[in-house]
Structure 1
Amino acid sequence: MTDTQSWDAGDLARRLAENAEAVCWHYLSAGRRHGNYWLVGDVHNTPGRSLYVRLHGGPDGRGRAGKWTDGATGQHGDLLDIIRENLGLLNFCDAADEARRFLCLPQSEPRSTPDRRDIVPLSSGTADAARRLWAMSRPIAGTLAETWLRHRDLTHLPDLSSLRLHPNCYYRADADSPTQTWPALIAAVTDLDGRVTGIHRTWLARDGKGKAPVAMPRRAMGDLLGNAVRFGAVSDVQAVGEGIETVLSLHEIMPDLPLAACLSSAHLAAMTFPSALRRLYVLRDDDPAGDHAVTALQARTQEAGIECLVLSPRLADFNDDLRYLGRGAMRAILHPQLAPQDVARFLHPVTH
């Protein structure tokens, strides 16, 4: 292993260890948490209790988060080893790529000198880079971002302070591809204290009525794990889902309900719970990854003493329900799935 690989392995192992429980939920979902350990049968996610992963370091500094041992085989290692063994990856580069994917840490790309100050290169995936891009973006009112959202039948827009537009955001399909610029909807990913830790970009067509014609029109950067794109102040009740437009579809029907978009099923399963949270609504996506996220959240909320209710759309997702069935139908779909007290609290009559 080269010195660069050694440093990269250590850095990735440290980042994985900081999110040890989320890693276990994703790769060792057949196991369960017991105190400070995650217990499962083996690295291949077999049910059982032979393999144990330390989730947090000890208060006296002894024991490191992310370290694991299989009592039956004597195997041991860190969470990067778990990923490699779990997926059957043969070399370090593949395991590192998978770890970066899970942590939303894209490969670094060469910087280019922008010709204009309002063009930001797609450079590193760090939180600092995300904050710079966020600072250089503008509110969505009167922009192509507003056009895009209205094209998805999303009209409750004045209070969406977590969304902005960058008119000329760099896009590169990969390190060997030429740089393009497209307008982009920029969403701020924040922690529970409201600090921007990352951003999500949706590159848009020149008229704002669709996504840009590029290979990957949606990408995230920064520190996403446990964080989310948030709409509304955190309270005792919250609804969470994967996609921004899906979550905002509920905002159309229940504008006072706090919402969060976690951007992927893995990050939805690993979301951080606000301390005041007592009831969590999970917007279910109709696919195996979405089902896994729901199962993981149900187990975690039960352990935390939080009521967890699943909201299921009639069509593929709630934005499809909004666009093709209408607001009245969405209210009818949601009404029986809500706790009775939340019907009166959040399911207000449509006023527009």
Structure 2
Amino acid sequence: MIESPSEIARRLAENAEAVCRHYLSNGRREGHYWMVGDVRNTPGRSLYVRLTGHGEGRASAGKWTDAASGEHGDLLDIIAASCGHPVFSDTLVEARRFLSLPLKAGHPSGRTRRARTNAGTPEAAQRLWTRSLPFGGSPAAAYLAGRGITDLSGCEWLRFHARCFYRPSADDAPDVRTAWPALIAAVTDEAGAVTGVHRTWLHPNMTGKAPVATPRRAMGQLLGHGIRFGKTGPVMAAGEGIETMLSLRQAMPGMPMIAALSAAHLAALEFPAGLKRLYVACDNDPAGEGAFVRLAGRAGEQDIEAIALLPQRDDFNSDLMAIGLDALTARLGTMLETSDVAKYLQSR
């Protein structure tokens, strides 16, 4: 009997097209890829599954990426989402059945439990959010302090989970733990409704992220939404990562901000009503530059001024850690409009 999830994922990858035809039946093959709308088998072309490939990482067969959301994974994720499995063991049972492998003890009939809430949906995200704990004084706050982030005012959409489930991927060690402490961030729409959550799994000693293949994952409806800090206003800042935007808030705690979670999400961010000027914290890579170009183009169509904030290193948290808050504040002062320097920038 095959017990390892990574071995099952490998066997699924060897039959990637058959898996896609069965679980993503609304898609179709185009060259070396299977194209479909999303992991829940919605018609479209946003998600692509690699059908052939060698080696490791996203270039190998069976790996998928959703260009709209920035999410990625393997074929076990596809089976879990398309079947709506509430627990990972149900996904393994279904995968074994598809591969005609012996079922594990305790599942003689191969039946799976009926999903009360589909994995990855806004409802599942809301359920995780309600089960998480207040953030203030939590171990996750200690983790952020280690990243130079100590001012957490306006961070009501952050929480902590002491044992957040982590589903191992094919890139994880066979004996990786399936529960870790986690920083939980709610993705909301402009009305304040929770549409998704982002999880950052942490090492138990809070000195860094958990030693897993993908320590950051998001679920729910993410496109157009984000993690919000402060109330919306005519001047705001937006960027990709949570720690990037929290680093900027150390220097500009009064400026409303949104973390969109990925370059693709940043480019597709929905503009809050009344927005006149948007500062865009660009990650220092081609994806970050491309996201700014696309977002700035959309902003211009709505008479919103878009201004790039450029880090010296890969992102603003790296800058904060390397040069300190005083130097970061001074540098931001050279990039903001004069009126915004007086209104938002902390005097040091």
**Equivalent-residue separation in structure 1 for 2:39 and 2:213 (angstroms):** 28
Tell me the secondary structure at the aligned position of residue 208 of structure 1: coil
> What residue is the counterpart of 1:152 in the other structure?
147
The one-letter amino acid of 1:314's match is Q
CA distance in structure 2 between the partners assigned to 1:108 and 1:167 by the alignment: 27
* d(CA) in 1 for partners of 2:131, 2:154: 20
Q: How many residues align?
A: 276
Q: Secondary structure at the match of 1:107?
A: helix
Report the Cα offset of residue 15 of structure 1: 9.8
3-state SS in 2 of match to 1:199 = strand
Question: Unpaired runs of 5+ in structure 1?
Answer: 19-77, 114-121
Distance 1:151 1:311 in 2: 24
1:254-265 paired onto structure 2 within 5 Å? 254-265=252-263
Q: CA deviation at 1:181?
A: 0.9
* One-letter amino acid matched to 1:107: I
Q: Contact 2:185–2:197 at 8 Å: present in 1 too?
A: yes
CA contact 2:245–2:258 (8 Å) conserved in 1: yes
Match 1:124 to one of 119, 127, 130 = 119
Matches within 5 A, 1:315-334: 315-334=313-332
* CA distance, structure 1, for counterparts of residue 279 and residue 137 of structure 2: 32
Alpha-carbon distance in 2 for matches of 1:139, 1:83: 35
Pairing 1:56-75 to 2, within 5 Å after superposition: none
Aligned equivalent of 2:138, options 133, 139, 143: 143
| TM-superposed deviation, 1:13 | 3.9
Aligned counterparts of 2:251 and 2:21: Cα–Cα separation in 1: 55
Please report the TM-score for the alignment, with normalisation by the length of structure 2: 0.71
Output aligned runs, 1:260-339, within 5 Å: 260-339=258-337
State the match for 1:41 in structure 2: none
1:230 to 228, 231, 255: 228
1:107/1:124 contact within 8 Å kept: no
The corresponding residue for 1:196 is: 194
Supply the distance in 2 between the matched residues of 1:2 and 1:325 (Cα, whole angstroms).
52
Shift of 1:349: 1.6
The Cα of 1:314 is off from its aligned counterpart by 2.3
Unpaired segments ≥5 residues, structure 2: 1-19, 29-34, 53-60, 90-116
Shift, 1:207, TM fit: 1.2
Post-superposition offset of 1:204? 0.5
What is residue 78 of structure 2 aligned with on the other side? Answer: 107
Contact kept? 2:182, 2:202, Cα under 8 Å:
yes
Percent identity of paired positions between Structure 1 and Structure 2: 43
2:240 to 239, 242, 251: 242
1:6-25 alignment runs, 5 A limit: 6-7=25-26, 13=37
In the TM superposition, residue 99 of structure 1 has moved relative to its aligned partner by: 3.8
2-structure distance, mates of 1:320, 1:229 = 20
CA distance in 2, matches of 1:187, 1:339: 30
For the residue of structure 1 that corresponds to 2:25, the secondary structure is helix
> CA RMSD of the aligned region, Å?
3.2
Deviation at 1:7, TM superposition (A): 4.8
Partner Cα separation in structure 2 for residue 277 and residue 199 of structure 1: 24
Tell me the amino acid that sits aligned with residue 208 of structure 1.
Answer: M
d(CA) in 2 for partners of 1:170, 1:125: 13
Residues 4-35 of structure 1: CA deviation (Å, up to 9, x unaligned): 533577x954999x9xxxxxxxxxxxxxxxxx
Contact 2:239 2:281 in 1 (8 A): yes
- Tell me what 1:169 maps to: 164
Query: Shift in Å at residue 126 of structure 1?
Result: 1.1
**Cα distance 1:88–1:164, how it changes in 2: closer, same or farther (>3 A)?**
closer
Q: 1:79: Cα distance to partner?
A: 4.2
Which residue is 2:65 aligned to?
98
Shift of 1:296: 0.5
Q: Report SS of the residue matched to 1:349.
A: coil
Q: Does the 8 A contact of 2:36 with 2:47 survive in 1?
A: no
Distance 2:145 2:88 in 1: 34
Residue 279 of structure 1 and its aligned partner are, at CA, apart by: 0.2
Report the alpha carbon displacement of residue 98 of structure 1 after superposing the two structures with TM: 3.4
Checking the alignment, whether the CA contact within 8 Å between 1:313 and 1:333 is kept in structure 2 is no
Paired residue type of 1:341: S
Relative distance call for 1:326 and 1:13 in structure 2 (3 A) is closer
Please report how far the alpha carbon of residue 89 of structure 1 lies from its aligned counterpart in structure 2 after TM superposition. Answer: 7.3
**In the superposition, relative to structure 1, how do residues 233 and 277 fare at CA in structure 2: closer, same or farther (>3 Å)?**
same
Residue of structure 1 in register with 2:114 after alignment: none
Task: Quote the Cα distance in structure 2 between the aligned partners of 1:243 and 1:14.
Answer: 23
User: Following the alignment from structure 2 to structure 1, what is the Cα–Cα distance between the partners of residues 213 and 275?
Assistant: 38
Instruction: Tell me by how many angstroms 1:104 deviates.
Output: 3.8
